[in-house]
């Protein structure tokens, strides 16, 4: 099985390709600054997933999945900055953020599945996976319930209630 058969890798490639097409239509000043940063952060999601797939040790695989999840956060921030500069409309932004949130959830669930294979694993990434999986137990935060900004986990919880794929689908071909 190749890395390209992993659903999470295909999801990462899809988002990266969508963003590259959008950035290509921007003016040179936006392409050279935010555009390069946005495409690089989106590309690194798939690269880290690939590195995780190729790694031999569980700790190393989990570290690369953690990097992929961090790259998702960077990409989301760049998309919000692009929207603030009117480079994306609201619909595009919502769609891209939902895709990235779903990708983040799948990445964390993939990491959890890898940890489940080694019941004795108690490395440094266990706490990260457990913290990131906490979205499953939280009530989604909405504008009606609070004016406080959402954390990345709270945002994931909100989107996960309507868009997340089941954990067993995270690596399905």
Rounded mean pLDDT of 115-137? 87
pLDDT tens figures, 27-45: 999 999 999 999 999 999 9
Of 114, 113, 112, 117, nearest to 129 by C-alpha is: 112
Q: Say what the pTM is.
A: 0.78
What top-level class would CATH report for the domain 3-169?
A: mainly alpha
In degrees, rounded to 5, the angle at the alpha carbon of residue 149 between the alpha carbons of residues 145 and 154 is 75
Average per-residue pLDDT in the chain? 84
Crossing angle of the two packed helices 90-117 and 7-24, in degrees rounded to 10: 150
Q: Which residue blocks in the chain are alpha helix, DSSP H?
A: 7-24, 28-30, 36-54, 58-84, 90-117, 126-132, 152-163
Of 103, 128, 115, 96, nearest to 46 by C-alpha is: 103
Residues, the chain: 173
The more confident residue out of 147 and 101 is 101
Kindly state the tokens that stand for 105. Answer: 């959830």
Furthest-apart CA atoms within the chain: distance in Å: 52
d(CA 46, CA 123): 24
Of 38, 163, 173, nearest to 105 by C-alpha is: 163
Domain boundaries, given as residue ranges, for the chain: 3-169
């Amino acid at each position: 099985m190749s890395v390209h058969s992993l659903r999470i890798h295909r999801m990462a490639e899809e988002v990266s390709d969508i963003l590259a097409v959008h950035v290509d239509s921007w003016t040179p000043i936006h392409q050279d600054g935010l555009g390069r940063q946005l495409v690089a952060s989106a590309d690194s999601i798939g690269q880290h997933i690939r590195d995780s797939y190729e790694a031999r040790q569980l700790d190393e695989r989990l570290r690369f999945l953690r990097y992929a999840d961090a790259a998702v956060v960077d990409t989301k921030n760049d998309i919000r900055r692009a929207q603030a500069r009117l480079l994306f409309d609201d619909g595009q932004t919502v769609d891209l953020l939902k895709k990235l949130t779903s990708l983040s959830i799948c990445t964390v669930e993939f990491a959890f599945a890898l940890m489940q294979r080694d019941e004795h694993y108690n490395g440094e990434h266990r706490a990260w996976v457990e913290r990131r999986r906490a979205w499953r137990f939280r009530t989604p935060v909405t504008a009606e319930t609070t004016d406080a900004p959402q954390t990345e986990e709270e945002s994931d919880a909100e989107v996960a209630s309507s868009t997340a794929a089941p954990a067993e689908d995270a690596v399905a071909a």
